[in-house]
Amino acid sequence: MTTTSQHLSEQEIIRREKLSQLIALGINPYPAELYPVNTTAQEILSNYDPEKNNYQEVCIAGRLMSIRNMGKASFAVIQDHTGKIQVYIRIDDICPGEDKTLYKEVFLKLTDIGDIIGIKGYVFKTKTGETTVHAKEFTFLAKSLRVLPIVKEKDGEVYDAFTDPELRYRMRYVDLIVNPHVKEIFIKRTKLVNTMREYLNTKGYLEVETPILQPIYGGASARPFKTHHNTLDMTLYLRIANELYLKRLIVGGFEGVYEFSKDFRNEGMSRFHNPEFTQIELYVAYKDYYWMMDLVEEMIEKVAIATNGSTQVKVGDNVIDFKRPWKRYTMFEAIEHFTGVDISQMDEGELRKTAKALKVHVDETMGKGKIIDEIFGEHCEKNLIQPTFIMDYPIEMSPLAKKHRSKPGLVERFEVICNGKEICNSFSELNDPIDQRARFMEQLELGKRGDDEAMVLDEDFLRALEFGMPPTAGLGIGIDRLTMIMTNSASIQEVLLFPHMRPEQGHTL
Task: Report residues of the chain scoring pLDDT below 50.
Answer: 1-3
3-state secondary structure of 100: coil
Q: What is the pLDDT, as a whole number, of residue 155?
A: 65
Of 146, 151, 70, the residue nearest 108 (C-alpha)? 70
Q: What is the pLDDT, as a whole number, of residue 66?
A: 95
Q: What is the pLDDT, as a whole number, of residue 154?
A: 64
Q: What is the pLDDT, as a whole number, of residue 469?
A: 98
Q: Is the CB of residue 252 less than 8 Å from the CB of residue 201?
A: no
> Residue 308 CB: number of other CB atoms within 10 A?
17
Q: Is the CB of residue 412 less than 8 Å from the CB of residue 392?
A: yes
Reported residue count of the chain is 509
Q: What is the pLDDT, as a whole number, of residue 6?
A: 60
Bridging pattern class, strands 234-238 and 226-229: antiparallel
Of 418, 425, 424, 398, the residue nearest 410 (C-alpha)? 398
Q: Is the CB of residue 73 less than 8 Å from the CB of residue 91?
A: yes
Which parts of 83-126 fold into alpha helices (H)? 91-94, 101, 108-109
Q: Where are the beta strands (DSSP E) in 303-359?
A: 312-315, 318-321, 327-330
Question: For residue 410, which amino acid is it?
Answer: L
* Cross-strand pairs, 142: 116
* Cross-strand pairs, 270: 273
CATH 2.40.50.140 residue ranges in the chain?
Answer: 3-148
Q: Write the CA distances from 394 to 49, 51, 218, integer angstroms.
A: 66, 71, 20
Q: φ and ψ at 125, to 5 degrees?
A: -110, 135
CATH 3.30.930.10 residue ranges in the chain?
Answer: 182-212+240-326+386-495
Q: What is the pLDDT, as a whole number, of residue 276?
A: 95
Q: What is the pLDDT, as a whole number, of residue 2?
A: 45
Distance separating alpha carbons of residues 352 and 334, to the nearest angstrom:
18
Distance separating alpha carbons of residues 480 and 482, to the nearest angstrom:
5
Question: For residue 69, which amino acid is it?
Answer: N
Half-sphere exposure of 361 (CA within 13 A, CB side): 0
Question: For residue 346, which amino acid is it?
Answer: M
The H or E element that residue 69 is part of is strand 58-69
Q: Is the CB of residue 376 less than 8 Å from the CB of residue 355?
A: no
Q: Which CATH architecture has domain 3-148?
A: Beta Barrel (2.40)
Q: What is the pLDDT, as a whole number, of residue 365?
A: 82
Half-sphere exposure of 274 (CA within 13 A, CB side): 23
Distance separating alpha carbons of residues 473 and 247, to the nearest angstrom:
10
Q: φ and ψ at 167, to 5 degrees?
A: -65, -40
CATH 3.40.50.150 fits 182-212+240-326+386-495, yes or no: no
